[in-house]
A and B are shown apart, each in its own frame.
Chain A
Amino acid sequence: MEDSLQGQDGGNSREFLAFTLGAEEYGIDILRVQEIRGYEPPTRIANVQEFIKGVINLRGLIVPVVDMRIKFGLGNADYTDLTVVIILNINGRIAGIVVDSVSDVTTLLPDQIKPAPSVSSALDTDYLIGLGTIDERMLILVDIERLMTSEEMGLTDGALARF
């Protein structure tokens, strides 16, 4: 936790979980990740946005699962044995995101994180921390907390009014 705070100040290195959506590689703050599990079909919820796949039973908790590939129109939203759900814990609220695969955990130093150009990806720059570069790889670093609590995702009650 402290690490991430310092990281945001530009002081220390930060760890990111790298995953792929279609052809792009993304990274999110590892401290927001609770666990990674295989994809199991969730219970569908009627009349919600298409990318909200439904809810699953995570050891007694009812947890929503969203498919980032549908949300951002990246890759094919098909579900295979390799499809992965990253369970996030954002300020105590649990949610799962479906991604194509998870690659590794990467440590980035502040000078490896460059500001994102305004038209870099499917995601609005508001939700980006920047672009991380490790040798030949480029990670699109997502401010997952901001994204998941945004109205656009419709995962909280504040978003209901719009729907």
Chain B
Amino acid sequence: MIDDLSQFHQVFFDEATELLAEMERLLLEVDVASPSQEELNAIFRAAHSIKGGAATFGFTDISEFTHVLESLLDKIRKGEMALTAEHVDTFLAAKDVMAMLLEGHRAGGAVDLDQVAEVSRRLHALADPAAGKQAAAPLAAAAPEPGPEPVAQPATTVAPASGALAIFRIELPVTPDKDVEGLAAELGLLGTLTREPLPDGRMVFHLETDQTQSDVTAVCSFVVDADKLLITAREPAVAAAASVAVVAEPAAVPVAAAAAAVPVTASQADAAVKAAKREAGAPAGHESSSIRVSIEKVDLLINLVGELVITQAMIDQRVSTLDPVNHEALLNNFAQLARNTRDLQESVMSIRMIQMDYVFSRFPRMVRELASKLGKKVDFITQGASTELDKGLIERIIDPLTHLVRNSIDHGFELPAERLQAGKPEAGKLVLSASHQGGNIVIEVIDDGRGLNRARILDKARQNGLPVSDNMTDEDVWQLIFMPGFSTADVVTDVSGRGVGMDVVRRNITDMGGTVEVRSVAGQGSSVRISVPLTLAILDGMSVKVGTEVYIVPLAYVVESLQPGASELKEMAGQGRLIKVRDEYLPLVYLYERFGIVPKYAEPTESIVLVLGVDDKKFALLVDTLVGQQQVVVKNLETNFRKVPGISGATILGDGGVSLILDVSALMRGLA
């Protein structure tokens, strides 16, 4: 039985992770003042589904924890309780706890029991703020002594629901009288209370109740520090030291994780299992219209289609030599095949595409928390969340983006008072946008903060011994922040950052074949623009020929091509060869020299020069001839071989031969 279920665990984990993300998104979106019924229902459904799943698979800690949350959400959605900002905060914290518990089961991740207990306590406190009116609602709490029991093997914590009375002796620390009275009143709601003043003026309560010890602790902890309480259970009905969860009537709620097992009768256990099954069956209405497929399968498919495209190109070469009059039907059919192949390739490639929402959705939470930690107000706006990007790239873009967003909040935005003084709205505006531009996706992080501080960047550059001058253009100055050693922490503000420099951001982006640009206006804000190719698997290439060898230059780098005149070529001592293109002198690289090829034309004036741009630097590459422009399927050299300097990958040409793709950035670096 257990084995049968365990094969579905991964599905549950995936689903629960998605539901949690969904829940977080909803919580962040919900308008606390006037929440829509739909949103409340959706949040409730997410919690409900997680609970049901967890119960089915026997993750008791998750299901119990979620149950508390669910009951609370249920009350709110039924209008029995008003949603407050505190609710939202607590729910977000609860989401974290659930994610942590989930990770604990999935990968054996560490579970912070104190955090679980703390959030659980907060939930219970919210569920019954007065600890009074609805006497039936017990308060569960931070278990004072989280046992050594690992959460990964949760105990079944079903306790006698009623009737089993225990007597707790509650010894209070020195407490003001009015608090003692308040506590007495609250404890009185749980059962029968008697008092016994101690000689030293402290008070001892004896409480006869059907509640658990942790419930009692919870009530007390509103008044006195739980650590200073001394609670002992006198009645053998419940194994005293253990803190126990109660599953009972709707209002009764189980305690969170740190619970030890208590013997239960068979009928009670059965009832609990049945309840769990009911829960599991419930969320069936929430069907998803997608299927989960392993990435290997998708990549295999992409590879196969890549082969198909190559084969099609090979046939294309053969067919193109046929006489069009005699073979009209064949040629027509072939054209049809070519179209189908192209469509198929596009469709297959789109499988790997993921919406940017996958990335964007993790930011609202971070922005909210970081802003409040720094005492700043930030309105966070995302645009183009439905823009799609290759899965491989989307995962690599998260870190750089996180860094940029952090930077904006940390260094970019002023404090609310400063903003008001500067005549700006109190809350800063942070925009994260994504859009398609040609074969690239452009992601921008825009803030309306104070902008980059030119003077300080120049100062810092001088300290680092970089050659700078005061009359550098702004663009050149902004580029300096990408230099290694420009810790963002001390460049723009004195607020300490994480010590990861913008150089890492830029390297991450260029590794993906992308570019980063910064724009900034003092006092008005700054924007960072990232441009990355849509996919790594297919590349628009320019094929060039040197001697007998054909290389592919990624089209994204090609600025222009020209045939150099003798007067444009210069040789400079210590600088190597230069070529003058539109009043600019660019370093000139002879590809045949670099790669040890016998060129067709030894004379540069007979050859072709490609002007290539990396970031905003340019250089010129001398090749024999241009062959043409084509889309190529990028193959990794490292799969069976290793990295080769100057080569970024390989591709298969229409004739079945292999052609190498030039690593333009590396060729450029080779100049330095």
Using a CB–CB cutoff of 8 Å, the interface residues on chain A facing chain B are: 42-48, 54-57, 59-64, 93-95, 154-157, 159-160
Contacts and interface: CB of A to CB of B under 8 A. Distances in A.
Which 7 A/B pairs are nearest by Cβ-Cβ distance?
A46-B595, A43-B658, A64-B641, A157-B642, A60-B307, A62-B650, A62-B635
B646 interface: yes
B640 A47 contact: no
Interface in B585-602: 594-597
Given A60-B307, A60-B310, A62-B650, A43 B660 contact: yes
B642 A46 contact: no
Q: Name, among A42, A54, A62, A95, the residue most crowded by chain B CB atoms within 10 Å (CB to CB).
A: A62
B483 to A, nearest CB: 26
A64 B641 CA distance: 6
B658 A94 contact: no
A55 B661 CA distance: 13
5 contacts: A44-B549, A46-B595, A59-B307, A62-B636, A62-B641
A51 to B, nearest CB: 13
Given A55-B641, A57-B657, A157-B642, A46 B652 contact: no
Interface string B639-656: 111111111001010001
B41 interface: no
For the side of the interface on B, what is the size category? 20 to 34
Contact of A47 (B303, B307, B595, B636): B595
A159 B638 CA distance: 12
Interface in B651-672: 652, 656-660
Contact of A60 (B306, B597, B646): B306
A95 B307 CA distance: 20
Contacts of A44: 549
B310 to A, nearest CB: 7
B658 A155 contact: no
B595 A55 contact: no
Nearest to B653: A57
A25 to B, nearest CB: 27
A95 B640 contact: yes
A47 B645 contact: yes
B659 A47 contact: no
Contacts of A63: 640-641
B299 to A, nearest CB: 13
B637 A62 contact: yes
Contacts of A46: 594-597, 644, 646-647
A57 B658 contact: yes
A156 B271 CA distance: 60
A119 B137 CA distance: 87
A55 B645 contact: no
